[in-house]
Amino acid sequence: MRLPESAFEQAKLGSGQLVAVTAPPGAERTRHLVRAAELARAHGFAVTWVGCRADAPPYWPWHAVLAGLGGDASALDAEPEACAQKVADALAGTPALILVDDVDLAGEDTFQLTRSVAARAHRLPVVIVVTCRNPAETRRLVSPEPDVDQGETRRLVSQAHTALTEGRITEARDLLDQAAREGDPEAALGLPGMWVNKYRGRADRALAVARIREALAAHPPDPLRTRLATRLVAEHAYDRRETESVLEALRQARKTGDQLTLAEALSLAHHALWSPEHTALRLALAEELISVASAAGLDLLALSGVCRRTMDLFCLGDPHAERSQVELARRAANHPGLIFFHAAMDVMRTIRAGRFAEAEQKSSACLRIGLEAGDVDAETFHSTHLFAIRWLQGRGGELVDLAEQVTHSPTLPDLEFSFEAALALLALEAGQRDRARSALHRLTINGLTAVPLSSTWITCMFCVVHVAAALGEADIAREAYRLLEPFAALPVVPATAIVCFGSTELLLGIAATTFGDAALATGHLERAVTTNIRLGNLPMTAYARATLAATAGGERGRALYDVAINDANTIGMTARAATWAQARDGLAGRILIRKENVWWVVSHHGKETRVEDLVGMRYLARLVAAPGTEIPALELVGGEDSGNQPLLDPVARAAYLTRIRDLRARLDDNPTPRLEAELEALLSHLERETGMGGRGRNFAGPAERARTAVRKAIRRAIDTIAATEQPTADALRDAVTTGYRCSYKPG
């Protein structure tokens, strides 16, 4: 007998158990019990160890157990069932391991009391280990008569299913939780077949999984056993991003021939595979779910299939998505749990149409529906809507503190990183570059491949690419490009379809611009504009046009900016339109710099100049790509400022001055050549270490060294351009400012 650590973990969550051991007294049995006690103490459990004997008084071991745990031993003065409740009440407060030796030696009253306590163990924070010498008694002990009316628990489950069908999710969840506490195995399924990962608190989630395991351990008959196994696999698959295990569970569900089991398995598999590489597979699962559930009269699961199909169509950019959404709205009118998802998708469509004020009102209404239905994602969806609206309006910086709060929300799934990425993007919009860089580096510390492919992965990458571009993080942009390329044909839509940031081609174009491939970027951005028009996404069409205009430059760029500015002003993106207008006005004399193989190409007034790969050209390219933006010289070279260090520290300087005053006083009384020479030497040394105004000179710190290095490198690069194209060099000298902060501001 070796107790697993999981027994103590489950007991901490209020789901205890009884372990009965048939073994003769001796060193072997004692060694196992000692090991169990050590393990319990390591988990913070109280331990009581009591032996039974034939001449002991009634209920004897439990008197000792209560006394050992600080309870009232005199309370055991009634029938075994009543005493069992008193023991359970005493055990409810403290996690404990209870070791009872040779329970079969005690009288029948003691045995019955032990059975009754054991029947309540699944609701207590305890692990009870009893030893018996008689195998028959062991079997009688571990198969206690139930202390719960099974008819009552079935009634609770039935009420829960009715509440769920009528859209009362919170009520259904509470009823199922009550039935599960009473040991009903079907209740351990939770909301049957609907969603996985709906218990976001670690303790609640662990308890839900423990109940499924406990129900399976009781060896229920099929198809319930397969339903429980499928639910367990789906929960783990969602956490670990495992595909094959959940598909294998689906195959096993098909073998049962039971339509309910198959429908639940299709629904759970769909939810467990919520990442962009499975979008087409999810659509196939949703279609089959609708067919199977409808044929079996499982109306709620069929309606859930319609909801999931609608989401999948939006994720694929399919033109039939709107038609499916209309069907969902008609059929889900009396089911708040599913009309909530319809409302969230309707907000997305309203944003996509550029009606921001209306979208914000609809998002507030969606929040109310979600809260009333008891959906754990209600507030998260609302925050996502607000972030999308404000960012498109060019007002994303207003929500940076809200984004910080959401990243710490306990209702976020463990593998949810999109809000960390949104924090970086919104901090950038607020001008908080250091905060944006910090959030980006936290997200990418182990590389972007370490960010799991979750339901919101593609929106996470949307934020990452934008922040990497603004901060000049070429390596991050290159890795993002590689990861996003397989999804170029998809829109930037999370699996729940609650926002749409247009074509993924836009992200590929921005990433390519960041790592210096202008020709590649132009192709992606042109396709982004075309795709966004097809999607009917007015804000992102304007945004993609403006991004393409910045890359194209020249007269084409001005023409693209004109269209983007007009469209943006029409739908209320006035802040972005004003920014684009400034960029457009600077295009007439603006200089463009791009990398081609080992050369930098400088374009100005229709002329192109090729320059070798000088360090200064890299600095110029970064400045020219962000006209009007001040960038610290230290950021250009990639370093940290530790401050300037004085050549002469304050203590030494004070000592010099004190000695000088002392020498002057002594020379007034007794002038000597030696004292005069010392004074002269001290004054000369102090003068060398003192700058203008008597301030001490400093060693050059990182910021000062960066300022000097950037100025010299840029000057050399401009001089090289001047050798072949003097007007371009003159324009750069007029527009580029160097110092601790550098910028390119074309006239």
| d(C-alpha 51, C-alpha 64), whole Å | 9
Whether pLDDT at 366 is above 50: yes
Q: Are 708 and 635 in contact (CB under 8 A)?
A: no
* Average pLDDT across the chain, whole number: 84
Q: Are 481 and 505 in contact (CB under 8 A)?
A: no
Q: Which residues contact 577 (CB under 8 A, 6 or more apart)?
A: 564, 565, 568, 569
Q: Are 337 and 372 in contact (CB under 8 A)?
A: no
Q: Are 129 and 99 in contact (CB under 8 A)?
A: yes
Residue 353's pLDDT band, with cuts at 50, 70 and 90, is very high
SS3 602: strand
Token pair of 509 as six digits: 């174009």
Q: What percent of the chain has pLDDT over 90?
A: 37
Summarised one tens digit per residue, pLDDT across range 26-75 is: 777 888 888 888 888 888 898 888 888 777 777 788 888 887 777 776 66
Token pair of 711 as six digits: 């100025």
What is the model's pLDDT at position 250?
A: 93
What is the model's pLDDT at position 254?
A: 93
| d(C-alpha 37, C-alpha 54), whole Å | 25
| d(C-alpha 183, C-alpha 217), whole Å | 12
What is the model's pLDDT at position 545?
A: 97
What is the model's pLDDT at position 687?
A: 67
Other C-beta atoms closer than 10 Å to the C-beta of 631 total 19
Residue 238's pLDDT band, with cuts at 50, 70 and 90, is low
Q: Are 304 and 194 in contact (CB under 8 A)?
A: yes
Residue 146's pLDDT band, with cuts at 50, 70 and 90, is very low
When pLDDT is averaged across residues 215-233 and rounded to a whole number, the result is 86
* Nearest residue to 733 via CA among 584, 616, 608: 616
When pLDDT is averaged across residues 256-283 and rounded to a whole number, the result is 91
343: left (phi over 0), alpha (psi -120 to 50) or beta: alpha
* Nearest residue to 62 via CA among 130, 124, 143, 9: 130
DSSP assigned state of 692 = G
Q: What percent of the chain has pLDDT over 70?
A: 87
Summarised one tens digit per residue, pLDDT across range 598-621 is: 889 888 876 788 999 999 999 999
Read off the amino acid at residue 255. K
What is the model's pLDDT at position 639?
A: 65
What is the model's pLDDT at position 388?
A: 96
Point out the least confidently predicted range of 223-232, 235-244, 637-646. Answer: 637-646
Residue with tokens 């339509």: 259
* Nearest residue to 626 via CA among 476, 742, 477, 740: 742
Other C-beta atoms closer than 10 Å to the C-beta of 241 total 14
What is the model's pLDDT at position 69?
A: 75
Summarised one tens digit per residue, pLDDT across range 715-735 is: 999 999 999 899 899 999 999
| d(C-alpha 215, C-alpha 233), whole Å | 14
When pLDDT is averaged across residues 668-686 and rounded to a whole number, the result is 75
| d(C-alpha 73, C-alpha 75), whole Å | 5
Burial class (CB within 10 angstroms; exposed 0-12, middle 13-18, buried 19+) of 650: exposed
**Cα 130 to the center of its chain, rounded Å:** 45
Token pair of 153 as six digits: 């628990």
Q: Which residues contact 384 (CB under 8 A, 6 or more apart)?
A: 494, 498, 499
SS3 570: helix
Residue 329's pLDDT band, with cuts at 50, 70 and 90, is very high
| d(C-alpha 62, C-alpha 117), whole Å | 10
Read off the amino acid at residue 217. A
Summarised one tens digit per residue, pLDDT across range 250-268 is: 999 999 888 989 999 999 9
Summarised one tens digit per residue, pLDDT across range 475-530 is: 999 999 999 999 999 999 999 999 999 999 999 999 999 988 888 999 999 999 99
| d(C-alpha 343, C-alpha 439), whole Å | 31
